[in-house]
A and B are shown apart, each in its own frame.
Chain A
Amino acid sequence: MTLTSDNKQTNTENSITATIDGIQVQVPKGTLIIRAAERMGTFVPRFCDHPALAPVAACRMCLVEIEGMPKPQPSCAIALTEGMNVKTQMTSTVAQEAQAGVMEFLLINHPLDCPVCDKGGECPLQNQAMTAGRAESRFDIEKRTFPKPIELSTEILLDRERCVECARCTRFSEEIAGDPFIELLERGAKQQVGIATDEPFNSYFSGNTVQICPVGALTSSSYRFRARPFDLVSVPTTCEHCAAGCSLRTDYRRETVMRRLAWEDPAVNEDWNCDKGRFAFAYLKENRLTQPKVRTKNGNQVDALWPDAIDFAAKGILQAKGKVGVLLGGRLTMEDAYAYSKFARLALATNDIDFRNRVNSEEEQDFLGSVVAGSGGSVTYADLEKAQNVVLVNFEPEEESPIIFLRLRKAAQKGNLKVTAIAPYLTRSLEKINAEVVATKPGDEAKVLRGLKIAQESIILVGERAAATPGTLSAVIEIAEKTNSKLSWIPRRAGERGAVEIGALPNLLPGGRPVTEVSARNDVAAIWGVNGSDIPNKPGRNHSEIIQAALSGEIKALVIAGLDVMDAPDPQALGQAINAVDFVITLGIQENSLTRYANVSLPVAPVTEKSGTFINWEGRPRPFGRAITSTNALTDARVLAMMAESLGLDFGLQTIEELRQELSSFGSWNGKKLDKPSVASIGAANVSVGSAILSTWNLLLDDGALQKGEEHLAGTQRPVVAHLSAKTAAENNLESGDKVTISNSRGSIIIKLEIIEMVNDVVWIPSNNHDSKVKSKLGAKEGDVVTIQKGSF
């Protein structure tokens, strides 16, 4: 039997031949016995072994007989060698008895509380006790007990009685996440997982320990006692929380999502996901809109029937045709974003569409059109793992794309990756990937990049925050070309890359086609069944310009989809714009201040109730199917098709199949792309004592719209503090622990100060945690100047 059938060579220097259970196997050198047995179909029982973690042989469950060795050996820690003769429990009574003995030892102190244990029904210990254990226990004295459970964090609970000391959780935390908050303490029968009393398990990846725990020792507060595996329906889905594109398993019961788990995908998230993707799904039920609502003449919003609401919306649009702006939230699936893109061009006859409900610039949309659109697969996760040099520009991996962080850390652990980060300070996440920080003031990125010695054929990852500082993206392109490096843009939200591809931008049509090119418009028009001249040929307004135009009266109506006002780059301006226009249509899943204000509010389906595709940062399509089928929620695309019909246009696009069919007919664009931006950098602002340059980014766990309703998760947010360098703090007469007031003409934020080693004249605060709400309180962005002073409550 040959186990290396994928590479045709049968006998090379790198493969060895051995015997397992009397069957000859040929495997690559270094293959563990347990893995080789697995591949030939023999499952050796195990608890501590995990393919992604280094072997420890802690649980002793996988004992097998090896010819020439005096005692049974752990198959998870020994590699096959040439000519080795291994007998597993299938053919050896020695192995069988050894495993039964270990199982008996493990069960001595394991409580018989399966009926109240969350793992019951999917528990490796339960299963293997059935195959390798005794029917009756011989142990009749009292078991070791611990008070249960203890809270490792608000989200993760530890029940030490159930633990079999396999160390999967502690090894994961140390090896994979780099957050060694938990550790095995004590010895012998008293051995237990422990944690420091003053430092909770606030790792962004803590949920993975619950998933890999082979017993019910680690459970999560949010899933505790809520369901049993046998009454859950499991469906594969794609995570909607960021642009990483993790495969997830969604388990639901009676139309309610009970939990989400990481689904193994070697090319993307491997075996892991982050806590946001795992635990933040309560929003699916919070404040859901179920009925279309229409604002009547007397100003009240009332429930309406679908046909009436659609007609009303269509009439409102018709009155403002050509003067309608479309603002999208960046969380839409590619198919839905495409429907908006088409609707804007055909039904509204405008290019005033923008998906960037965050800091944005014209430079950025040129960058997206010239470099990002249609560049799928230029950098992949595998590339990051193999990379020698990675440069991070305005990108904080753990906070803004945690799976990229895990890959970078994996590569950095192997020792062959050098990460250089252009950032104001060495964050915890950058420290964990051994990054070298070039301390940079916001605004100086372009200057620093040009002055930096970057190795040829590096990988440059640039975050969405680069749009905040003019010239950064231009410099990134210039440097990437000069050093022959690969360049990848990492947005935060799941729908952003897809929205670029399908042209939900003022200057782009689907497939990276510039709106200014005649042949591009003709291409698209042919697929849409219209004349090329029907597609508006002038680049439209972007997010900020749409809001300006609404304020000045040039735009009379707004179509707003999947957008939370608190996410907007300037929530106050958006609020004023909505007040200024005559007609507002919102499409969303939750009731919020926008939908309450709308003339027509239309409810649409969340990710669990529709099929769709997210394009992750690599440009990799991540399609997912509908999980919950019994609700009658409609997709955005379907609602737009109905609206188009009401306007007398035939859109088709009623079903996901039609949408995907039409999308696939675009093919790639070989014509002229948009010109690459070349914007001069203006450099960092000059500040004097009493003021500082603002630096800010969104933390992974914050008060975002999709994290609402999950307080256990919110409890694991990082502490909210402002950062200043010692010099800047001293100049402003501030000390660590002081309250500092950060303010501008709009408002102020009062927050605790922590002095760290960072670039001078810069103050860093989180964007959207507790009191630190940069957008709504200051309306400011990275690089703006704010005043700092000692604050008090």
Chain B
Amino acid sequence: MAELPQMMRAFGVTFLSMFRKVTTEQYPEVKVPTQERFHGKHQLNRHPDGLEKCVGCELCAWACPADAIYVEGASNEEGDRFSPGERYGRVYQINYLRCIGCGLCIEACPTRALTMTNEYELADNSRTKLIYEKEDLLAPIQPGMVQPPHSMIDDFVAQDYYDGKVTGASAEQFAEVELIKQKNQGI
């Protein structure tokens, strides 16, 4: 019976654990918020009137140590404007199979277009689904914004957008997008 004290001690551990704080998380039933500055899925932000902040400069792709980002720029044309200024990101892809969440890309971004959210559920059942396209990454249209393509606010230049002078889409911009919508339906 020499093992009896040892067994008592072992069961004692189990018994005591019943009174300790439970660390098991009930994921996915219960989702515990992450730390505030957790590096989650990226987001491509918009100016307050809905125009995209991304200018397609590829600095994020340049900064990325895992080669996870692919960007192609293009010219904003009259009547086909996606961002203030001359250039916008036509193609924007982040490959989450490669991304290591280091955040160098958002540090590199000159227009604060790219930031990271706390969204961490980046799993899927095929590799291609984990290459996120621009539409998967763009911030949703908030009240007060209109969906590009549309013009800049009348009499504003790109610098005004960066100086924070834009607070929301103007009546002209709403009207412009409405007109385009009607035209498209007409066709």
Interface set of A (CB-CB < 8 Å, partner B): 113-116, 120-121, 148-149, 224-228, 230-231
0 or 1 for each of B93-114: is its CB under 8 Å from A? (1 = yes): 0000000000000000011000
Contacts A225-B73, A225-B74, A226-B73 given; indicate if A116 touches B62 (C-beta within 8 A).
no
- Assess whether B61 is in contact with A225, with CB atoms less than 8 Å apart: no
The answer to whether A231 touches B75, judged by C-beta atoms less than 8 angstroms apart, is no
Q: Pick the contact of B55 from A116, A227, A231 — CB < 8 Å?
A: A116
* B48 on the A face (CB < 8 A): no
- Per the bound structure, the CA–CA distance linking A394 and B153 in Å amounts to 60
- Indicate whether A115 sits within 8 Å of B62 (C-beta atoms), given known contacts A225-B75, A225-B87: no
Instruction: Specify which chain B residues have a CB less than 8 angstroms from the CB of A121 in the assembled complex.
Output: 62
Structural contact, A115 and B74, CB atoms closer than 8 A:
no
| In the complex, residue of chain A having the shortest beta-carbon distance to the beta carbon of B83 | A116
Chain A proximity mask over B57-80: 1 for CB below 8 Å, otherwise 0:
111011000000000111100000
B59 CB, min distance to chain A CBs, angstroms: 6
Assess whether A116 is in contact with B86, with CB atoms less than 8 Å apart: yes
Chain A's nearest CB lies how many Å from the CB of B52? 13
Chain A CB within 8 A of B50 CB? no
Specify which of A115, A224, A226 is in contact with B57 (CB 8 Å cutoff): A115
Contacts A230-B62, A231-B61 given: A116-B72 contact, CB under 8 Å? Answer: no
How far does the Cβ of B97 sit from chain A's closest Cβ, in whole Å?
18
Cβ contacts A to B, 23 pairs, < 8 Å: A113-B85, A115-B55, A115-B111, A116-B55, A116-B56, A116-B73, A116-B85, A116-B86, A121-B62, A148-B86, A225-B56, A225-B73, A225-B87, A226-B72, A226-B74, A227-B72, A227-B73, A228-B58, A228-B61, A230-B62, A231-B58, A231-B61, A231-B62
A116-B57, A226-B74 given; name 15 further pairs at CB < 8 Å.
Answer: A113-B85, A114-B57, A114-B110, A115-B55, A115-B110, A116-B56, A116-B73, A116-B85, A120-B57, A225-B74, A228-B57, A230-B58, A230-B62, A231-B58, A231-B61
Please give me the residue from chain A that is nearest to B88 by CB atom: A225
* Cα of A114 to Cα of B62 in the assembled complex, Å: 14
How far, in Å, is A168 (CB) from chain B's closest CB?
Answer: 23
Query: Which among B56, B58, B61 has the greatest number of chain A C-beta atoms within 10 A?
Result: B58
Closest-CB distance, A221 to chain B (whole angstroms): 9
Contact A228 B87 (CB under 8 A): no
Cβ distance B77 to chain A, nearest Cβ, rounded Å: 11
Tally chain B residues at the interface, Cβ within 8 Å. 16
CA distance A115 to B74 in the complex (A): 13
CA distance A694 to B6 in the complex (A): 114
Give 3 closest A-B pairs by Cβ, nearest first: A115-B57, A225-B73, A116-B87
Closest residue on chain B to residue A113 by CB atoms: B85
> How many A-B pairs with Cβ below 8 Å?
40
Closest to B90 in A: A225
Could you tell me if B111 and A224 are in contact, using CB atoms closer than 8 angstroms? no
Cα–Cα, bound, A149→B75 (Å): 12
Roughly how many angstroms separate A651 CA and B74 CA in the complex, as a whole number?
48
Q: How far is the CA of A225 from the CA of B75 in the complex (A)?
A: 7
In the assembled complex, the Cα of A83 lies from the Cα of B128 at a distance in Å of 69
Alpha-carbon gap, A115 to B110, bound state (A): 7
Name the CB-closest residue of A to B87: A116
Q: How far is the CA of A379 from the CA of B73 in the complex (A)?
A: 46
Question: Chain B's nearest CB lies how many Å from the CB of A231?
Answer: 7
Instruction: Please give the distance in Å from B44's CB to the nearest CB on chain A.
Output: 15
How distant is the Cα of A390 from the Cα of B9 in the complex, in angstroms?
A: 108
Known: A225-B75, A226-B72. A115 touches B59 (CB 8 A): yes
Instruction: Return the chain A residue nearest B75 by Cβ.
Output: A225
**B87 contacts across to A, CB distance below 8 A:** 116, 225
CB distance from B83 to the nearest CB of A (A): 10
A118 to chain B, nearest CB (A): 9
CA distance A115 to B61 in the complex (A): 12
Considering the complex, give the chain B residue whose CB is closest to the CB of A254.
B70
Q: Which residues of A contact B56 (CB under 8 A)?
A: 116, 225
Tell me the bound Cα distance from A115 to B111 in angstroms: 9
Q: Which residues of B contact A148 (CB under 8 A)?
A: 86
Q: Chain B: which residue is nearest A224 at the CB level?
A: B75
Inter-chain contacts of B62 with A (CB < 8 A): 121, 228, 230-231
B73 — which chain A residues lie within 8 A by C-beta? Answer: 116, 225-227
| Inter-chain contacts of A226 with B (CB < 8 A) | 72-74
Nearest CB in chain A to that of B57: its residue: A115
C-alpha gap A146/B55 in the complex (Å): 20
Contacts of A113 in B (CB 8 A): 85
Q: Which of A149, A224, A225, A227 has the most CB of B within 10 A?
A: A225
Using CB atoms, name the residue of chain A closest to B58. A228
Q: With the chains together, A231 CA to B86 CA distance in Å?
A: 21
Bound together, the chains give a CA A121 to CA B75 distance in angstroms of 19
B76 vs chain A, min Cβ distance (A) = 9
Q: Complex formed: what's the CA distance from A773 to B75 in Å? A: 35
Chain B: minimal CB distance from A145 (Å): 9
For B57, the chain A residues whose CB sits under 8 A away are 114-116, 120, 228
**Cα of A230 to Cα of B87 in the assembled complex, Å:** 18
Cα distance A149–B87 in the bound complex, in angstroms: 12
**Within residues 119 to 138 of chain B, which ones have a CB less than 8 A from any CB in chain A?**
none
User: What residue of chain A has the Cβ atom nearest to residue B110's Cβ?
Assistant: A115
Interface residues of B in 4-61 (CB under 8 A from A): 55-59, 61
Contacting residues, chain A, for B58 (C-beta < 8 A): 228, 230-231
Cβ of B55: which chain A residues have Cβ within 8 Å of it?
Answer: 115-116
Q: Min CB distance, A756 to chain B, in Å?
A: 40
Residue of B nearest to A225 (CB): B73
Q: State A403–B74 Cα separation when bound (angstroms).
A: 33
Which residues of the other chain, A, contact B110 by a CB distance below 8 angstroms? 114-115
Q: Which among A121, A149, A228 has the highest number of chain B CB atoms within 10 Å?
A: A228
Q: How far is the CB of B108 from chain A (nearest CB, A)?
A: 10
B-side contacts of A227, CB under 8 Å: 72-73
Distance in Å from the Cβ of B104 to the closest Cβ of chain A?
Answer: 14
| A109 → chain B closest CB, angstroms | 15
Report Cα–Cα, A224/B87, bound state, in Å: 9
C-alpha gap A540/B75 in the complex (Å): 55
Nearest to A115 among chain B residues (CB) is B57
A120 to B73, CA, bound (A): 13
Shortest distance in angstroms between A233's beta carbon and chain B's nearest beta carbon?
A: 14
Distance in Å: Cβ of A1 to nearest Cβ of chain B: 39
Complex: A224 Cα to B57 Cα, angstroms: 12
Instruction: Give the shortest distance, in Å, between B42 (CB) and chain A (any CB).
Output: 18
Question: Chain A residues near B111 (CB, 8 Å)?
Answer: 115
Most buried by B among A115, A228, A231: A115
**A120 to B56 Cα, complex, angstroms:** 12
Measured in the bound complex, the distance between the Cα atoms of B58 and A121 in whole Å is: 10
How near does chain A come to B98, taking the closest CB pair, in angstroms?
A: 15
In the complex, chain B residues whose CB is within 8 Å of the CB of A149: 86
Bound complex: CA of A57 vs CA of B57, how far in Å?
33
Chain B contacts of A115 at CB under 8 A? 55, 57, 59, 110-111
CA distance A228 to B111 in the complex (A): 17
In the bound complex, CA of A646 to CA of B59 (Å):
53
Considering the chains assembled together, what is the distance between the CA atoms of A230 and B85 in angstroms? 23
Bound complex: CA A120 to CA B57 (Å): 9
Q: Report the Cα distance A121→B73, complex, angstroms.
A: 15
CA distance A224 to B74 in the complex (A): 8
Q: How far is the CB of A137 from chain B (nearest CB, A)?
A: 16
Closest chain A residue to B85, Cβ basis: A116
Complex alpha-carbon distance, A121 and B85, angstroms: 20
Output the least CB separation between B114 and chain A (Å). 12
How far is it, in angstroms, between the C-alpha of A205 and the C-alpha of B72 when the chains are bound?
28
Of the candidates A120, A148, A231, the one having the most CB atoms from chain B within 10 angstroms of its own CB is A231
Alpha-carbon distance A427/B62, docked complex (angstroms): 49
